[in-house]
């Protein structure tokens, strides 16, 4: 890069990158969202997490968001995100950070386990930007849920109004409650 970077911009990018690392973002996310060099990002990652970042590709499938439990969490995150970005002057990445914090906070207050990682949440927003995924309202409850863009949803009923028979029984909501019951 030939242009000298402004110190203020640089400080802002380091702040955003640090917040991303703290929330568990992968290095590829940091590279996309900041103009910082890969070398600096790796150093930042190691300083904050005290270990090297995981290698390998980012998850890239839109199908993950369609499974029952991921879809519930993704839809919740998207509602929070749309709420946060609406009418605000935040950059997209800052809105994702804020929305993800509110999502984690909700899980904490409700006593639920995290299903959507930061990197997945970030991918979800990118998929919606790229019109590969979108949200449609459920004709029963009126809530908005994440779906594939290409499919038609004239009479869409969400997975919470029409629960699949085994939904939430394996490793999802139920296990969590049993664990909590054991604690009390």
Partner 1 sequence: MKKTEQLLEEIRETNLTYLILAQKMIRADRVQALFRLGVSEAVADILENLSIAQILKIAASNMLMCGFRFSDEIVWNLLTRDSADSNVEQVHAAILMAGAAAEAA
What are the two backbone dihedrals, phi and then psi, of residue 20, each rounded to the nearest 5 degrees? -65, -45
User: CB 131 → partner 1: shortest distance, Å?
Assistant: 19
Site map 61..100 versus partner 1, x via CB under 8 A: -----------xx-xx--xx-xxx-xxx-x----x--x--
Binding to partner 1 by residue 101, rule CB under 8 A? yes
- Six-digit token pair at 53? 């970042």
Q: Which of 14, 11, 12 is nearest to 43 (CA)?
A: 14
User: CB 98 → partner 1: shortest distance, Å?
Assistant: 5
Q: Which residues, numbered 125-154, are part of the site for partner 1 (CB under 8 A)?
A: 141-145
Q: Which of 46, 65, 62, 44 is nearest to 54 (CA)?
A: 46
Q: What does the radius of gyration of the chain's CA atoms come to, in whole angstroms?
A: 18
| Choices 8-16, 25-33, 54-62, 101-109; region in contact with partner 1 by CB under 8 A | 101-109
| Choices 16-24, 40-48, 110-118, 119-127; region in contact with partner 1 by CB under 8 A | 110-118
Binding to partner 1 by residue 34, rule CB under 8 A? no
Q: What is residue 137's three-state secondary structure? A: strand
Report the phi/psi class of residue 148: left, alpha or beta, with left for phi > 0 and alpha for psi in -120 to 50. beta
Binding to partner 1 by residue 119, rule CB under 8 A? no
Binder among 1, 7, 57, 110 for partner 1 (CB under 8 A)? 110
CA atoms within 13 A on the CB side of 81: 28
**H or E stretch including 92?**
helix 92-110
Residues interacting with partner 1, by CB under 8 A?
Answer: 72-73, 75-76, 79-80, 82-84, 86-88, 90, 95, 98, 101-102, 106, 110-112, 141-145, 160, 163, 167-168, 173-174, 176-177
């Amino acid at each position: 890069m030939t242009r000298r970077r402004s110190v203020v911009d640089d400080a802002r990018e380091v702040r955003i990158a640090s917040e991303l690392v703290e929330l568990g973002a992968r290095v590829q996310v940091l590279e996309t969202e900041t103009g910082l060099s890969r070398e600096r990002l790796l150093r930042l990652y190691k300083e904050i997490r005290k270990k090297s970042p995981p290698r390998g590709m980012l998850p890239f499938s839109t199908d993950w968001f369609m499974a029952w439990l991921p879809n519930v969490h993704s839809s919740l995150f998207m509602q929070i995100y749309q709420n946060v970005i609406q009418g605000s002057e935040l950059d997209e990445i800052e809105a994702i950070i804020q929305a993800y914090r509110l999502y984690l906070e909700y899980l904490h207050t409700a006593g639920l386990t995290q299903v959507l990682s930061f990197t997945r949440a970030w991918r979800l927003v990118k998929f919606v930007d790229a019109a590969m995924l979108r949200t449609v309202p459920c004709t029963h409850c009126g809530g908005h849920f994440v779906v594939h863009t290409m499919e038609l949803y004239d009479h869409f009923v969400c997975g919470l109004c029409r629960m699949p028979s085994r939904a939430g029984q394996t490793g999802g909501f139920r296990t969590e409650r049993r664990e909590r019951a054991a604690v009390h």
